Amino acid sequence: MTGLSLASYKDQLESASASQSQRYCFGNLLRYLPRPMVKNSHRVGSRQLIKNEDGFVSVWAARLAQPTVLSSKAKDAAAEIEHRLQLGSKLSDVVSKKEDLLALFDLYRNEGYILAEHKAIFYVVLKESSSPHDMLKALFHVNYLYWLEKNAGIEARSVSNDCRYGGRLQISLEYVQREFNHVKRDGESMGWVTDGLVARPLPTRIRLAHVASSIAS
């Protein structure tokens, strides 16, 4: 990890920059959704739609529905994320050590996906029960990890270290679990269809019972 200690890492996520990262992740996330059906034609001011205590401005959803919203810098970032993303990966792409595998299973035990970074690639492993909601949540998580890397200097370490309490994957997942549904509702309120993805994942899925028996043996 560069730039921040693990202690200050937690502070980073609770700071005022949280709303900035939320807007950033939301903007990139909408690239993976069908274009919205516009429900309301009235104009809204950028100060009218402040909804959450952390200062998330949902007017970004309305602005992002327009074709020329993203800056060239934001478009470049989105293109880099897309280049580094593997949606529907195999577990063998991500880990080779038993301790890393167990750490990932424990961290993502209540999620429909497993996310880890290896050699600058964001690998999203989909569980057999993964739904479009889970995939969209995983993409939000990927965008947030990228934001942390570029804006807070927080980069990947070993998988097991990143999964521990206070580690990169653990704290970012905590953030995603807290914020994703708010972001999704804001998108839906502006007409975005959040139950479908433009991105098409690879067909690989994992069956946890099968993997668990393989580990035990």
Q: What count of residues does the chain have?
A: 217
The answer to whether the beta carbons of residues 40 and 168 sit under 8 Å apart is no
Q: What percentage of residues in the chain have a pLDDT greater than 90?
A: 30
Alpha-carbon distance 123 to 104, whole Å? 12
Give tens-digit pLDDT for 122-164: 999 999 988 888 988 998 899 889 888 888 888 888 999 999 9
| pLDDT band with cut points at 50, 70 and 90 for residue 189 | confident
114 compared with 63, residue with greater pLDDT: 114
Tell if the pTM clears 0.75, that is, is over it: no
Q: Which of 14-18, 40-44, 73-77, 103-107 has the lowest mean pLDDT?
A: 40-44
Alpha-carbon distance 105 to 214, whole Å? 13
Class of residue 53 by CB neighbours under 10 A (exposed 0-12, middle 13-18, buried 19+): exposed
Structure-token pair, residue 145: 């990890």
Handedness of CA 93, 96, 100, 102 (dihedral sign): positive
**Residue in the structure block whose two tokens are 């946890």:** 208
Alpha-carbon distance 189 to 209, whole Å? 38
| pLDDT band with cut points at 50, 70 and 90 for residue 212 | low
Alpha-carbon distance 68 to 31, whole Å? 13
Side-chain half-sphere exposure of 15, counting CA atoms within 13 A = 12
146 compared with 186, residue with greater pLDDT: 146
